[in-house]
Each structure stands twice: as C-alpha cells, then as structure tokens.
Amino acid sequence: MSSPIVLRRSSRQAILWDLHRVLDEVADSRAPRRRFVEKFLERLRIAPGEAKRLVAEISARLPEDIANADVGMDAYLRVFEELLPIAWHNDMAVARAGHRDALRQRLRAVLDGTQYPASPRAVSAEMVAAARELLGPTLDDAALPGVTAALEALIVSELWRCRDEAARTLLAERLADAIAQEGRVAFDGP
C-alpha cells in the first residue's frame, strides 16, 4: 500500500466512535477480532486484496477477547496507524491551551445566569458570543452554524436537568467540547 490514507484530525472523535460501533456489530460473531479488522478496513476503503493481506497482521496485534478487553478505542486506532499509511490532515485551528479552561468558565457563567424559560437558541447565541470573544478568528465563521446546532442540542437535552454544581460543570465541559469539535479548534497551542 503506497498512497496514504488521509484522515482529518477534526474527525478523530467520529472515527473512534465508528470503531466502537464496528466492535459492537461484531462482538457476537464467531471471529470478532477478524471481523472487526475486516469491517474497519472496509470503512477505510482499503482494496479487498490489500485488506485480505492486512487482516491477519492487524488482528494479531489486537487483544484475543477484543469485545471484553479493557482497552480504549485509541489503542485500537493506534494499531491501525502502525500498520497502515495513515496521514492526519490537520484541519484544526489552534488556540492556546489556557483558552479551554477560560471557555469552560465563560460557558459556566452563561449557564449560571440562565433562568427558565430561556430559549435554547438565546442561550446558545450567548455562548457562541462568549466563545467568539475569547477565541477571536480561531473560531471560523463557516463553522458557526454547526457550533450553534451542537450547543442547542446539548442545551435542549441537558440544561434543565442541571440542578447542582457538578452537573452544570460537566455540562460546561461538554459544551466546550462541542465548540472545539464543531468549530475544529484544538486547544494545544502555546
């Protein structure tokens, strides 16, 4: 296999979830480790002949009882990365690492100031404004509709259940993660 498989860094979480779904699909099959590798290679669009050659090599590096192993999906993805020419395209904008905590604090402040019956749209608009103020041009305008939709979905499903400090803090973290994922922002700059 000579040409690299180019994957977007912003889709890493989705790929990890896809690995988890594939594992769930094959957990009850007769050879779950082999089926897991075959199905994931199909998703990566590896040619059948090449995939057939790789299945045994990749399977040998995975735990025997793959469905019950105490291993995260990151470890499984690393096995594929070691044996396939995977190249990660960095499509993420880089923000300072300290901005992640600052963003969580601002989102938490918005949550603390939100009172029923505030609309999810109004709350998400306030959160997007806080994120844009903090992140500036790092948060691309083209990503804002996706960011807004992700925030609204979390707000609708979670906000009114958050009655205590711990729940609001967790929701603020999830909201910050949604902004990072949908806005393609990596908080690992200097």
Task: Work out the angle between the directed axes of helices 98-113 and 120-135 (0-180°, nearest 10).
Answer: 150
Over range 9-14, report the average pLDDT.
82
Alpha carbon separation from 109 to 77, 161, 184 (Å, rounded): 37, 17, 23
Over range 130-144, report the average pLDDT.
90
Lowest-confidence pick of 46-50, 106-110, 147-151 = 46-50
For residue 122 the two structure tokens come to 């109004």
Asked whether the beta carbons of 184 and 93 are under 8 A apart, the reply is: yes
Asked whether the beta carbons of 153 and 179 are under 8 A apart, the reply is: no
Asked whether the beta carbons of 185 and 139 are under 8 A apart, the reply is: yes
Alpha helices, H only, the chain: 12-26, 32-43, 48-60, 73-83, 98-113, 120-135, 144-158, 165-182
pLDDT of residue 1: 57
* Burial status of residue 177 (CB atoms within 10 A of its CB: 0-12, 13-18, 19 or more): middle
More confident residue, 73 or 153: 153
More confident residue, 66 or 178: 178
**pLDDT > 90: percent of the chain:** 27
pLDDT of residue 158: 84
Over range 87-103, report the average pLDDT.
85
